[in-house]
Structure 1
């Protein structure tokens, strides 16, 4: 069961093909999902099975040191990473897409942001075939209208299509997997080569995690967004934004066995 089932209250504002998700914490629920949230965060930096293997072969202390070496230490990097993590989890929970590759496992510097689309969702529809979700995520205590406009510019880039090198990054990882993943990887490479998907099969999603209330800006941005494709904006309001991030990363590398 997703943490969002018990953690947030979600309201939706629907206007034709455009939807705004307004998400707020349910009082008293954060402590209930804290442990699950930390496991989710760990899983975005390394496969949980590989963490367990490190514990088996290195012991708890050394496995913790390995995990800590992957984790960002600065407030800025943690904020950006957690926004991307929750965006990924949320679109799998609420929008019916799969994000098959956890990008943060492949960062070449733990304090650096990855380039390209923040997340790409994939769905195989029985009638329409391959469908993609191009996503941007922003995490800030005080999200500005300028930042929202910059995110929209990124979504509209490449004629609204997923960035080619971001799709190829996913395709290359999938090509190393199962037969099903291999087939999906080939589909993504074909899309990069021939760009055959029409706008109604490439949706856009914009996820924000904020302490302030950016809803007026988000509504205006969503109303002005490209109407030829489905558009979703999400705001997760965390009033103690910085404290929440600090709590989420506190002792994250601790794997037990004191």
Structure 2
């Protein structure tokens, strides 16, 4: 039985985190700097770390484009070849689009695994076209503790062979839009998907909609997260950016160094598309 069928029972639905597949603890070494409302995370691959998480990363990538149980059903109904072709219709082919989307996937997984947020919507499932970039925030995270007001993460990801000042500036401009709040269209999309579920998720979605309508979320309840994966070591420009972030809200700057950046992206998509053999 192929790997995709063995994991079909895991719940990788868009809105449920009852099962998780940790990546970064096995894959990377962490160097963290945390002070006040600011945190800087520098990640580098461990020796052998990439091989250790290769299968898990492939599964996670698939789950961002489609529900894993549906992919398993495709394998059962159509066979490996046609199921792979169907999955390929959702994944980009161009190197640029693949770079950006893998950056978004890694950012989403890291903020859930390491920063304590839940990212309810895997938004790559909702693209208008395989090569089309999605508008709005790259990811929106939520922390919802019963005794506290809802906290949000507004995130922007960048993936570059060489990370430089222009990409960092672009990320900051996006994070600053809408007075630093999550883009209304993006956050309402999250709220609507939660409301579709009923129960406690519906209540959470309703609460989010109410806050969007009243613009009631204070800056200190919205963390800005700038995630970057690149082939170069963390550049001084990103360290300077971190130092310059204001104190009116929480900030996280995260950099993942992958020296063979472009080869890594190519190999990751190839593995994610390889469901098995007839």
Aligned partner of 2:185 among 165, 170, 184:
165
Verify: 1:200 aligned to 2:229, yes or no.
no
CA distance in 1, matches of 2:37, 2:191: 28
Cα offset, 1:252, TM superposition? 2.5
Q: 2:151, 2:221 within 8 Å by CA — same for their partners in 1?
A: yes
Q: 2:234, 2:257 within 8 Å by CA — same for their partners in 1?
A: no
TM-score in terms of structure 1 length: 0.96
CA distance in 2, matches of 1:125, 1:154: 28
Cα offset, 1:189, TM superposition? 1.1
Verify: 1:182 aligned to 2:209, yes or no.
no
Mean alpha-carbon deviation: is it higher for 74-83 or for 120-129? Answer: 120-129
Aligned partner of 2:144 among 112, 124, 146:
124
> Alignment length, in residue pairs?
258
**Runs of 4 or more off by more than 4 Å in structure 1?**
none
CA distance in 2, matches of 1:251, 1:224: 39
Cross-structure match for 1:11:
31
Mean alpha-carbon deviation: is it higher for 165-174 or for 102-111? Answer: 165-174
Q: 1:22, 1:234 within 8 Å by CA — same for their partners in 2?
A: yes
TM-score in terms of structure 2 length: 0.89
List runs of 5+ in structure 2 lacking aligned partners.
Answer: 1-20
- For residues 178-225 of structure 1, what are the alpha-carbon distances to aligned partners after superposition, in whole Å with 9 as ceiling and x for unaligned? 422211221221121011111111111110001113431112112222
Verify: 1:248 aligned to 2:255, yes or no.
no
Q: 1:215, 1:235 within 8 Å by CA — same for their partners in 2?
A: no
